[in-house]
Amino acid sequence: MFAELGHFSLILALLMSMLLAIYPLWGAQKNHQQMMATAKPLAIGMFLFTAFSYVALTYAFYTDDFSIAYVAHHSNSLLPWYYKITAVWGGHEGSFLLWVLIFAIWTVAVALLSDGIPKAMVARVLSILGMVAIGFYLFMLWASNPFESLLPFYPVDGRDLNPLLQDFGMIIHPPMLYMGYVGFSVAFAFAIAALISGQLDSTWARWSRPWTIAAWGFLTVGIALGSWWAYYELGWGGWWFWDPVENASFMPWLIGTALMHSLAVTEKRKIFKSWTVLLAISAFSLSLLGTFLVRSGILVSVHSFASDPTRGLFILALLGIVIGGSLILYAVRAPQLKSVGRYEWFSREVMLIGNNLLLTAATMVVLLGTLLPLVHKELGLGSISIGAPFFNEMFVYLIVPFVLLLAIGPLSRWKRQSPKALQKHLIVAFAISVSAAFLIQASYDQMTYMATLGLVLSGWIFVSTIQEIMQRTDASHNKERSLLKRLTSLTPSHWGMVFGHIGFAVMLIGITLVSNYEEEKDLRMRPGDVVELGGYAFQFTGVRDLVGPNYSGHVGIVDVYTDTSLSEKVTHLEAEKRFYPVQRTSMTEAGIDSGISRDLFVALGEQLNNGAWALRLYIKPFVNWIWAGAFLMAFGGVLSMCDKRYRMAKVAKVKQRFAKLATPDVEASNVATAQKVSQGQA
């Protein structure tokens, strides 16, 4: 019954999105205030109906309602309650429902938080979001309905959730990723609204900046969580696999990073306008493309949900309308975008656009690498696969100029920078980063070119970021002020940039060290055996049985000591191997001891004869820095969003209100306080 209400609620949400797509836009074109005013309630309505629908599906999962096809296929009565709730997005239909729910959340957030932006602009933006939403609601109701009933014949028990997805990482990774993916729709809507209205000044860039940063922050965290999940859940010991689905989330991130920076240039210097608009369209288009690649089953990957071509065709048609439509609009309107600012070849503008181009090139590399196998096959050239070596090599080429510009960019001035003035900074930065790289490497047995390169690059970012802070704080007029005062005088968005760049450097250190100094051993061990790896002694104590709510399996126990005398214990690791009977799948849960400078990682393999087991041991230096870097970058995003500039309109409004109140009311309240005080004294 509840499920039917959920279905009905989804239809109402579709209705809301249709009205939202029509009325506010119409109102904005005709300058009709009442029609524009419908935008907010309609956006709220769309959100509430979608949310109710989502709750209804969750309830069906919670109560094991196997009369619903989707529940029967993705849940099981033995599943713990928290996985029942997260199983809602474990399959195709439900993850789409989550997608539209998050879309509705972003829409309602724009509707509620855009007080400072002209009504007509907000109305247009919300209408565009409504148009995109129509497509997805129609898709759900027509081709992928999560509420489809199996009545009158339904199974006694469900098929269970894919064990890979029964994990804490799975609980938060997809919603975060979707928040990022879908969040780019806001920047997209602002760009399209600007194109439609012909209001092609750079104000739209300021309005869409905080939204873009928010979406980018979520996507950063989402990708980092996904990578972390793969690291400890898949038991392969890797943290990035260039899997098509990972790539699908990486492409919007790359373009989103470019967009964030390009928006800053467009806002401040009123240049690169058409480029920024194109990036805004591209970021969301790549999100949609990612959705298509995952949902259509067109690319074979660990992530893909098998599905039929009709669904893929529907999404492709949707893609055609949304992306094709906006690119046509772009082709027509972009020639009118005139950039007014002037700049010379050596200036901050050029460095930013340079990095924009490098990020776009990186996106192209990922796009090509992901789709080339498909194109190759369609051209009749047979199946090929493009693996990690291709991507790794291309990214090494791209990262060197990228880091160079990343480091010099913030040090440079807008319009014109004399290269001579930077010379001193550059020499100091280069000297420090090279010596740091050699010092760090001295603690490892051998030195590699790749590790040196990576460490020099990360050191370079660190040093130049510090130089940049010093440059800023020295420039502030009052030199006598304390350092702390001077540091706090920098704006939050400036600190956002600092954290973003430092985060990137931290991540680069992690990637460099783990890729070059990782140690690995595949072993056959019997209980009691001791093996040495990377300065640690691993003792395999044995295996005990494991019984979980919906799985059974074995736990391999390994104790780690500082040396083979086994006197000083470092840690106790338990690596699990689980078997899920309903889905008949085996899963590993690695035993990991995390640390700042290294992770000790143990995975349990097959049982061999004579009581021996296959074990895989890893030492992963600085692997946590990869995720720490990602979180620092996201934190930088949060800081940037907190900047006062984006609340300017609000602040102005409040000031206005106070100004109005000021004369009579303040006096009145003064009198009131005075009276109170005197009463108190009496």
* Interface with another protein (CB under 8 A): 77, 153, 155-157, 159-160, 274, 278, 281-282, 285, 292, 296-298, 300, 306, 309, 312-313, 316, 319-320, 323-324, 327-328, 330-331, 334-335, 371, 374-375, 377-378, 383, 545, 552-554, 577, 579, 581-584, 586, 606-607
Map residue 339 onto helix, strand or coil. Answer: coil
Q: What is the closest distance, in whole angstroms, from the C-beta atom of residue 282 to another protein in the complex?
A: 7
Q: What is the closest distance, in whole angstroms, from the C-beta atom of residue 606 to another protein in the complex?
A: 6
Nearest residue (CB) to another protein, 274 versus 417: 274
| Cβ atoms within 10 Å, residue 423 | 10
Map 234-299 to HEC letters: CCCCCCCCCCHHHHHHHHHHHHHHHHHHHHHHHHHHCCCHHHHHHHHHHHHHHHHHHHHHHHHCCC
| Cβ atoms within 10 Å, residue 672 | 10
∠ CA 279-284-287, nearest 5°, is: 125
The DSSP output letter for 646 is: G
Q: What is the closest distance, in whole angstroms, from the C-beta atom of residue 628 to another protein in the complex?
A: 36
Nearest residue (CB) to another protein, 285 versus 516: 285
Q: What is the closest distance, in whole angstroms, from the C-beta atom of residue 406 to another protein in the complex?
A: 26
Nearest residue (CB) to another protein, 320 versus 387: 320
Proportion of the chain in helix, strand, coil states, percent, rounded to 5: 65, 10, 20
∠ CA 206-211-214, nearest 5°, is: 130
Smallest CA-to-CA distance from 340 within 281, 416, 268 is with 268
Nearest residue (CB) to another protein, 474 versus 545: 545
User: Phi first, then psi: what are they for 32, rounded to 5°?
Assistant: -105, 110
Smallest CA-to-CA distance from 496 within 139, 214, 115, 178 is with 214
Q: What is the closest distance, in whole angstroms, from the C-beta atom of residue 533 to another protein in the complex?
A: 24
Q: What is the closest distance, in whole angstroms, from the C-beta atom of residue 68 to another protein in the complex?
A: 16
State in Å, rounded, how far the first CA of the chain is from the last one: 67
Q: What is the closest distance, in whole angstroms, from the C-beta atom of residue 545 to another protein in the complex?
A: 7
Nearest residue (CB) to another protein, 198 versus 335: 335
What is the rounded CA–CA span in Å between residue 386 and residue 393? 12
Nearest residue (CB) to another protein, 220 versus 307: 307
R_g over Cα of the chain: 28
What is the rounded CA–CA span in Å between residue 177 and residue 630? 13
Buried b (16+ CB within 10 A) or exposed e, 16-46: bbbbbbbbbbebbbeebeebbebbbebbbbb
Nearest residue (CB) to another protein, 325 versus 535: 325
Q: What is the closest distance, in whole angstroms, from the C-beta atom of residue 270 to another protein in the complex?
A: 19
Q: Are 476 and 600 in contact (CB under 8 A)?
A: no
Nearest residue (CB) to another protein, 300 versus 388: 300
Q: What is the closest distance, in whole angstroms, from the C-beta atom of residue 374 to another protein in the complex?
A: 5
Q: What is the closest distance, in whole angstroms, from the C-beta atom of residue 309 to another protein in the complex?
A: 5
Q: What is the closest distance, in whole angstroms, from the C-beta atom of residue 251 to another protein in the complex?
A: 12
What is the rounded CA–CA span in Å between residue 37 and residue 34? 5
Q: What is the closest distance, in whole angstroms, from the C-beta atom of residue 88 to another protein in the complex?
A: 21
Q: How far out from the chain centre does Cα 660 lie?
A: 44
Nearest residue (CB) to another protein, 119 versus 616: 616
Q: What is the closest distance, in whole angstroms, from the C-beta atom of residue 603 to another protein in the complex?
A: 14
Q: What is the closest distance, in whole angstroms, from the C-beta atom of residue 314 to another protein in the complex?
A: 10
Retrieve residue 323's tokens. 């992306």
Q: What is the closest distance, in whole angstroms, from the C-beta atom of residue 586 to another protein in the complex?
A: 7
Map residue 306 onto helix, strand or coil. Answer: coil
- List of residues 6+ apart from 589 with CB closer than 8 A: 232, 233, 235, 575, 576, 577, 578
What is the rounded CA–CA span in Å between residue 556 and residue 573? 8
| Cβ atoms within 10 Å, residue 520 | 13
Q: Are 69 and 60 in contact (CB under 8 A)?
A: no
Nearest residue (CB) to another protein, 377 versus 415: 377
Q: How far out from the chain centre does Cα 608 lie?
A: 42
Retrieve residue 498's tokens. 């600092």
Measured between alpha carbons, how far is residue 491 from residues 352, 637, 654 in Å?
Answer: 20, 13, 21
Cα atoms in the 13 Å half-sphere on the side-chain side of 280: 32
In sign, the C-alpha dihedral spanning 124, 126, 127, 132 is positive
Nearest residue (CB) to another protein, 116 versus 312: 312
Map residue 194 onto helix, strand or coil. Answer: helix
What is the rounded CA–CA span in Å between residue 115 and residue 112? 7
Nearest residue (CB) to another protein, 250 versus 460: 250
Nearest residue (CB) to another protein, 17 versus 296: 296
- List of residues 6+ apart from 324 with CB closer than 8 A: none
Bond prior to 152 in cis (omega within 30° of 0): yes
Retrieve residue 205's tokens. 């860039």
Nearest residue (CB) to another protein, 66 versus 631: 66
Q: What is the closest distance, in whole angstroms, from the C-beta atom of residue 77 to another protein in the complex?
A: 7
Nearest residue (CB) to another protein, 332 versus 439: 332
Nearest residue (CB) to another protein, 374 versus 531: 374
